[in-house]
Amino acid sequence: MLLERDDGLPTRAGVAAESEDRHAGVDARCDEVRLVGVDLECRSAGVAPLGRRCAAAAAFERENEVQHGLSVALSVGVAGVLSTGVTGTTGFVEANGLTFAYIEEGSGPLVLLLHGFPDTAHTWDSLRPQIAAKGYRAVSPFMRGYHPTAVPGVDPSQETLAGDALALISALGADSAVIIGHDWGASAAYGAAALGPDRVTKLMAVAIPHPATLRPSLRKVRDVRHFALYKLPRAPQRFARNDFEALPAIYRRWSPRWTPPAAEFDAVRECLSSPGSLDAAFGYYRKLSPLPSASLRTKITVPTVVIAGSDDPLAEPSDFRRAARMFKGEYILEEVPGGHFMHREHPKEFAARVLGHL
């Protein structure tokens, strides 16, 4: 049995002990587990890839898509809420071969707000109305695989995530947009700005430096080990144990000075409890490669603002300064109080910085 911490990550002893597991109904007999930087390779002989879903899982996804289709028919264009106390217009749109759910407020030039992990579109509930009040149409989609967005059949590549952002701009009826992304949303935003510089009027990346410039260091191994460990078989199941007790543990570790109320995680828990969504969220990590994709090797010409948390254990302001080499145009670093989830910890100060650059 795999030994683990309260944040859902296996201990070192647990990783060494686990040589046989099951993922999506497929036996994975691993004869070598090797950590290279922050990438974990699991070399398996004679088995299906860990990312491949079994027939039962595929059927489960098809059922989810049918249910989602009914939800689309009932919800498109309806003003309301996706969770108690959240105002705005909710809707669904087809983009890049997938049905995306989103929340929007306001009218005017499009501002696309992309969330990360473990999170949802509700992470922008405080910022979205403030952007709308400045004369913008603020739209926060649920990222690929995050309920009520549809669950895809394959794990997404960096190019897919970048393509999602660009396709959403078109699907929402806009020619271009400001893109604000946090965590995985920032990674998607970097790719979108590189692949479609004529479609992105400004890029704001939160908490993640340009991925092509990230360098593993011994000092950060503990804080970035999830990049490797989330690739392990049954990582999603471990994360979901005991009603997602790993959620608050992750937030505490990545934002060490923040003590959020228990209700802070309700929307995330509800989203990841939906069939297929948790596994889809972990698919981002399974597909992650230590080698930058084409979109991450291209220098960005779009005006860019990067926002770093002063207490973020995953990325320090110096990491963002080093990343400046990937940008040909304007590149501004804003440092704000807080950890990885600075936009939740200090929403007023964070909003002031963002609104100042719109």
The winner for highest mean pLDDT among 37-46, 64-73, 314-323 is 314-323
Once rounded to an integer, what is the mean pLDDT over residues 340-357?
A: 97
| Residue 126 banded pLDDT, cuts 50, 70, 90 | very high
Is the pLDDT assigned to residue 62 strictly greater than 50? no
Q: Name the more confident of 275 and 22.
A: 275
- Residue 125 within any structural domain of the chain: yes
**What predicted TM-score, i.e. pTM, was given to this entire model?**
0.77
Average of per-residue pLDDT values in the chain: 80
Q: How far is the C-alpha of 177 from the C-alpha of 179, rounded, in Å?
A: 6
Range with the poorest average pLDDT among 218-227, 268-277, 330-339, 343-352: 218-227
Task: Take residue 333 and report the two structure tokens written for it.
Answer: 């670093």
pLDDT tens-digit profile of 292-313? Answer: 788 888 999 999 999 999 999 9
**Is 55 part of any domain?**
no
Q: How many CB atoms lie within 10 A of CB 71?
A: 16
What's the pLDDT at 290? Answer: 76
Name the nearest CA neighbour of 130 among 162, 147, 106, 154. Answer: 106
For 316, phi then psi, to 5°, come to -95, 160
Q: What is the mean pLDDT of residues 47-65?
A: 34
| pLDDT > 80? residue 108 | yes
Rounded CA separation 190/186 (Å):
6
Is 37 domain-assigned?
Answer: no
Residue 77 within a domain: yes
What number is the average pLDDT over the span 16-31? 35
- Number of domains composing the chain: 1
Q: What is the pLDDT of residue 80?
A: 34
DSSP state of 170: H
Q: Which of the 8 DSSP states describes residue 220?
A: G
Is there a domain that residue 204 lies in? yes
Beta pairing partners, 44: 30
Per-residue confidence (pLDDT) for residue 277, from 0 to 100:
97
Q: For the residues 143-154, what does the mean pLDDT come to? A: 97
- The answer as to whether 170 is a domain residue is yes
Rounded Cα distance, 270 and 89, in Å: 20
pLDDT at 60: 33
- For the cut 70, the answer to whether the pLDDT of residue 350 exceeds it is yes
Report if residue 25 sits inside a domain: no
Summarised one tens digit per residue, pLDDT across range 220-260 is: 556 566 667 888 888 999 999 999 999 999 999 999 999 98
pLDDT of residue 67: 34
* Of 58-62, 91-95, 125-129, minimum mean pLDDT range: 58-62
Residue 298 sits in which domain range?
A: 67-355
pLDDT(3) > 70:
no
Residues 207/316, Cβ–Cβ less than 8 Å = no
Q: Which residues contact 126 (CB under 8 A, 6 or more apart)?
A: 343, 344, 347, 351
* pLDDT bracket for residue 219 (50, 70, 90): low
CATH, residue 260: 3.40.50.1820
Would you say residue 191 has pLDDT above 70? Answer: yes
Decide if 31 is inside a domain: no
